[in-house]
Structure formats: C-alpha cells, structure tokens
Amino acid sequence: MSPLVGGGGARSDGGALRVAVIAGGPSSEHDVSLSSGSSVRAGLLAGGHEVIWVIVGRDGVWRRDGEGEPLSVSPGGGLLEADVAFPVLHGPYGEDGTVQGLLETLGIPYVGAGVAASAVCLDKVTFKELMSVAGVPQVDYRGLDEASLRDSPETVIAELEPLGLPVFVKPAHFGSSLGIVKVSSREELPAALAGAFEHDRRVIVEAMARGVEVECGVLELPVQDGREVLASHPGEIVFSGDWYDYRAKYTPGGMELLIPARISPTAAARVRELALAAFTHVGCAGLARVDFFVDGEAVLLNELNTMPGFTPTSVYGKLLDASGIAYAELLERLCQTALRRHRREPAADGAARAT
C-alpha cells in the first residue's frame, strides 16, 4: 500500500504552534465533539505544540478549560493569542459555517472548511443538489420541508414512492447518524417524517443503497507552490447491525474498518476520484471524509463531512494513518494548511490526486 505523498512539515520559523482547540457546542453532538477534541489536544501536545482548551457549553457559552468567566472576543482581536484555531465541532453551529464566520471576524487562521462550504455540506439536501448539478452519481433522494408535509401529506408520500422501500428518513442538518429512522413500509412514513421534523426544519429521504459502505479521507497539503489535495486509500466499514448507526460509530467494537476496502481496483480508484471531485466542487479546505456505497463497480456518493470525528474509534485518522500520515503529523499538516491559507500566499488551484 503506497503512502500519501506531498508537502507539509514544520512551521517556517521552526517553533511550536499555539493552538486553540475548540470543542463541545450546543448541538446534540456535544459529547462526541468533546471526545474528538480531547484526541486532537493529546495529538497536538504529543507533537510538541501548546494547546489552549476552549469548551463551548451546551448553552453556547465559550470558556477556557470549560471553567470561569465566559470568553470575551473582539473583531480582529484573535482568540487567546493563539496562532491557529482547531474547531473540533460537529453538527449544527460547529459545521454549518456559524463558528467559521466568527473565527473569520476574529481574524484567526482555522482548520477546516470555510463558511460557505461548511453550510453547504451540513445541509444534506443542498449538498446533494449541488452534487447532482456536478454530475456526481449518488443515492437517490428527496428533500422535504415541513410546510409541504403539513399542507399535503398524501402528495408528499406519493412523491416518495419512486425511492422504493426501505428508505432512510433523516434530519437534513444532523451528523453522526443522529435522528435517522429506517422505514420499511409506507404506513411508517408519516410518523417517521413527523419525528424528523421535530429535530430539523428540513428533512431528506434516501433510497436504500446496496453494496458495502466505503469511506475515503481527503487531506489538503500545505505545499510551496499552491494547493495539493490528496485522497486516502478507501476503507470498508463492517458492522453487525442492520445499518451504520450512532451506536456502531461510537461504541468501541461497534464497527471494524478494513483498509484497503474489499473492492476492485477500478472501484477504489473511482472512490478516490469522486472524493476529490466532491471536495473540489463544494470548495472545501483542509480535510473531509467522504462516504460512499460500492456495489461491484458501481460507486454512489453518500455524503461529505467537513469535520469528521477524531475520537479513538473514528475513521478519518485511521484512513490517513494507513495511507502513511501518522496522527500527530496529520494534525500538524492541518494547522500548517490553515496558516498558509490565512496568509493568502499564492493559491493556484493545484492538482487534486489520489495515491
């Protein structure tokens, strides 16, 4: 298995970085974010960097170390004199462009996608519509708003029939498989839709996809002559349940990641190609994990996560590690990419490639 190759490395002045790791948040993924943030903090410390631990409470209040008075920030004033921010936040508020916009106003470099790409990718309906325009093959779906279901429920149910059964009903803005219901009969749909709308103003209904679940890590590298984006070797998700739910994702032993995935070389190349295409089309930066269904030679895009989990059981770090980039080095490169982007050095489009 050939490793990823590319730029990266130490800070230009050779010194350690002062990194503000931001975790928690008011979304339902608060606990997952804290676990991810703890792993990032440990990895940065192991790499010789200084870490400022910022916890966003469930009430949305920011506190250093999660204690004491709320943080006070000013536009253009940075964040706790940090060199770079690492917002390890999942779901609404953390991945929807909200925090990214705040960090922009503070004038601090930050890891991950910007405001627009974050907002697009967290909204599953908008993301899939953009991928459809770009011609990326994906799971069939329908996006719904609450008013349409309220005004004409029978029409909505009829419009979902081409998806077949079973289908998955999902809140459009949630991650980590939260709020998802598998529906196996037409009679179950109204209750499933009503339940999803209790969580979100927008809902997506997706057809059941055949084949295996495959994930691919994308990493943007800080290179001297512009921008280089690489795709990891695809990994196959193996789990014992009916589908890859929250419990399988975050319970130790709930899933197994096989690298390389047990798919053909042609399908593996297609996964990497589409992962890079999706990353580029939505204007992502830094990193992403792109999820697929693979059935023989057929590859269908499922979704793109702009801030994938960094917990001990999370897939993204394992994919990059298996592709030649150890965890501490991965965090270093992400921070360096954020710094380079913020300095607005010449940014050629660069080559996006899979290895």
- The span from the CA of 256 to the CA of 237, in Å, is 6
Of 289, 333, 340, 341, catalytic: 289
Q: Is 186 helix (H, G, I), strand (E, B) or coil?
A: helix
CB within 8 Å of 127: residues ≥ 6 apart: 120, 121, 282, 303, 304
Helix (H) / strand (E) containing 337: helix 327-342
Rounded Cα gap, residues 44 and 262, in angstroms: 33
Looking at residue 249, the DSSP 8-state letter turns out to be: H
Residue 154: active-site member: no
Active site residue 77: no
Rounded CA-CA distance 148/145 in Å is: 6
First to last CA, the chain: 9
Residue 294 — φ and ψ, nearest 5°? -125, 120
Closest listed residue to residue 49, CA positions, set 75, 78, 82: 82
CA 5, CA 324: separation in Å to the nearest integer?
8
The tokens for 288 are 């992403």
Query: Is 341 strand, coil or helix?
Result: helix
Of 83, 213, 245, 291, which is the active-site residue? 291
250 is catalytic: yes
Residue type, 334: L
The catalytic position among 110, 141, 244, 250 is 250
Residue 291 catalytic? Answer: yes
- 345 is a catalytic site residue: no
Catalytic residue among 24, 29, 91, 112: 29
Which residue in the list 36, 39, 305, 323 is annotated as catalytic? 305
97 a catalytic residue = no
305 is known as an active-site residue: yes
Phi, then psi, of 102 in degrees rounded to 5:
-60, -45
Question: Is there a catalytic annotation at residue 309?
Answer: yes
d(CA 13, CA 240): 49
In the set 96, 245, 303, 332, the catalytic residue is 303
- Alpha carbons 13 and 35: distance in angstroms, whole number: 31
Catalytic residue among 6, 97, 309, 317: 309
Catalytic residue among 28, 35, 39, 176: 176
Instruction: Cite the active site residues.
Output: 29, 176, 250, 289, 291, 303, 305, 309
